[in-house]
Amino acid sequence: MVSLLQPYDLGPLRLPNRVVMAPMTRVRATRDGLAGPSTATYYAQRATAGLIVSEGAQPSRPGQSNPHTPGLHSDAAVEAWRPVTAAVHANGGRIFAQIMHGGRVGHPDTTGFVPVAPSAVRLPADVFTPAGPRPAPVPRALSRREVQGEAAVYAQAARRAIDAGFDGVELHGANGYLIQQFLSSNVNQRTDEYGGSLTGRIRFAVEAVEATATAIGAERVGLRLFPGGTIWDIVEDDPFGLYTELYRALAPLGLAYVHTLMNGDRELFDVLRKEWPGTYVVNPSAGIVGRPADQAAGQTWLTRGADLISYGRAYLANPDLVELFRTGLPLREADPELFYAGGDDGYITYSSHQY
């Protein structure tokens, strides 16, 4: 039986285990979107993961969603990330940068720009700003030429990520952000080639991935998806048909992986797993309230056909998560009040079980 603790070859990378640290927003960057010394410590503490996927980094200033998140759109950002990737590598780890464009999930008070989206459909919710939660504004619908430009932005950020020392990148196509806004039935109301049919709605995702693969090599590109996910008021009328179409369009590219959040719909998982010929990363935590996924949950999905298992919340208070799985020791619980509090408390203050 395949085990979480067994090694795995991910393209040119030899992973010592099948545990992936999932991307998690921690809002510890500077106001200008720069990673700091504590960021290097945070990821280096967790370098025993088979693979780390960083928190979402905005590929452009207009693409920023939350305040105090790091970017990948300037020379200064590249320089700020280099000590982070160096620290992970010095500790024997591997790290991909997640590239996250917020689309309509943003605010001018955060970025200085009106958010953009496939269509001018307002998010009926508050979003985070430097002054606290504010109602989301009506986004500006992208023109056809601008859509193509936004796809290219992911590739530009990917080049910077490789320059900063990352081993690869993951495009964030889940959780209601720009790529999933194009995939959606409610936010994407376009009537041109980027909307309407399933082929139209997947076009932006495919073009963004293709541009990124061309820029840095497909073997260094992953994509995170949430089939049927409803975060930030997303509706997908036909997730079976939509994601089957998307997987078939992406399969010939030879990507590093697809990273899928699962909400417990095993029938959907079985259908999509058969459609994806490459590495399949599963995050089993979607829909789990009150507790992070554990080793048993990960093992269940491995047995069902996943290749790698990503853990988010379990990594917050357990930087040595792989060792805890290896020894069978209990997991510590993170303080939710410190998830996004800023500062080092609840960020780099969780020690390993040995101390």
Catalytic residue numbers, as ranges: 177
Phi, psi angle pair for 169, to nearest 5°: -135, 155
Angle at 18 (CA atoms; ends 310, 326), nearest 5 degrees: 100
Q: How far is CA 181 from CA 74, 177, 283, in A?
A: 25, 6, 21
Pairwise CA distance, residues 320 & 46, whole Å: 6
Read off the DSSP letter of residue 219: G
Pairwise CA distance, residues 101 & 250, whole Å: 20
Q: How far is CA 241 from CA 4, 35, 117, 202, 276, in A?
A: 31, 39, 23, 11, 14
* CA distance between the termini of the chain: 33
CA 250 remoteness from chain centre: 17
